[in-house]
Structure 1
């Protein structure tokens, strides 16, 4: 089962920050989470993202004991990425004992989840290719093979409609209490010719205005 974890505001502990660890840290740096890195050596590329949008704390320290996890509180995920497979295994075991999600850089089978190869469309749509950790290489090869075709099918109109739906969902709860009726209203926006014409003209402010006006009329009709 593929899920999209919401890491906003979460504490992520990365133990070991070599080349492989740096790759995962960079992918996490766009998730609005707090990343704590503990490692004797740190890949130089990580200093380039330190202090930017995502809070990153780098602790230079030799790692010898998996109980280092106990020194940190409220950790959501532990990444074991040292260059010692045996130590990584012990880190994963300790994380599991504490009920913390864990990922091992060198042993996917012991991890609680797997990374996928992502097709990212306008930072709005993510399509994941997964082999359940069996072959990250094939995930990337398959992604490269289908990425252009997917982007030719899904375009700007789709991503704009997602933004419209997000706006509408934020407001519709204040007007329509019935879940089925809310769903029908959201579907109607996709079929609304005037709204779709405004989307094509990139007039998003007018779209939002029309949505609010439609909701106001819906509430007026209900009150009669």
Structure 2
């Protein structure tokens, strides 16, 4: 099966999670991190999900799923081990034209969730197209070693410099050359090793501000 890779903008969108166990909890946490508005529907839920509901972080309906529960949703996750509920949630999602993930059931999903490496602004998504979640996890672990915490600082620095450069009245070609020059510099390595004097020298050479607060 072939998939189209995409990053979804979920800020403020309603996402319905059917299920209340530990797997559902992890799915809800990821959706909240993306800024989604999350509604959880399940007859039983974890203490963490209850606490999030009390804190107003999620909407919680402690009852079994029933047809019509996906009304108004933008994305759906079925995180339950009940095959009948899984099928019913996916069927309703299909009828409503909604993105739906049924955990560990790629054959009845309209999308699958990749294994992800996060370093601030950087997100690396790994998928084996459902062939082997264990292999995806192994690849993620290798990438976590290669792309360490320095990449979070690096991309924050690049974002600041990008805004600074775009604020200048520079010809497009000159901007492009400057962006490429900065991208080719070994900034992640300098940051990882604490060689901030090299970063300062580059900033001065290109007429850019030096990020004292990122050191």
| TM-score tier after normalising by the smaller chain length | 0.7 to 0.9
2:126 pairs with 1:129:
yes
Matches within 5 A, 1:81-160: 81-121=79-119, 123-144=120-141, 146-147=142-143, 151=145, 153-155=146-148, 158-160=151-153
What TM-score do the two structures reach when normalised by structure 2?
Answer: 0.73
Q: 1:84 to 1:170 in 2, by over 3 A?
A: same
5+ residue gaps, structure 2: 210-215
Match of 1:58?
A: 60
**Cα deviation per residue 1:80-107 (whole Å; 9 max; x = unaligned)?**
2233212221211211222211111242
Match of 1:163?
A: 156
Tell me how far apart the structure 1 counterparts of residues 24 and 33 of structure 2 sit (CA, whole Å).
15
| 76-85 or 133-142, larger mean C-alpha shift | 133-142
5+ residue gaps, structure 1: 213-224
What TM-score do the two structures reach when normalised by structure 1?
Answer: 0.71
Matches within 5 A, 1:18-29: 18-29=21-32
**Cα deviation per residue 1:61-84 (whole Å; 9 max; x = unaligned)?**
222x332212xx2x2211122332
CA contact (8 A) 1:10 1:76 kept: yes
How many residues align? The count is 201
Q: 1:21 to 1:157 in 2, by over 3 A?
A: closer
Tell me how far apart the structure 1 counterparts of residues 111 and 105 of structure 2 sit (CA, whole Å).
11
Give the alignment's Cα RMSD to 1 decimal: 3.6
**Segments of 4+ moved more than 6 angstroms:** 196-199
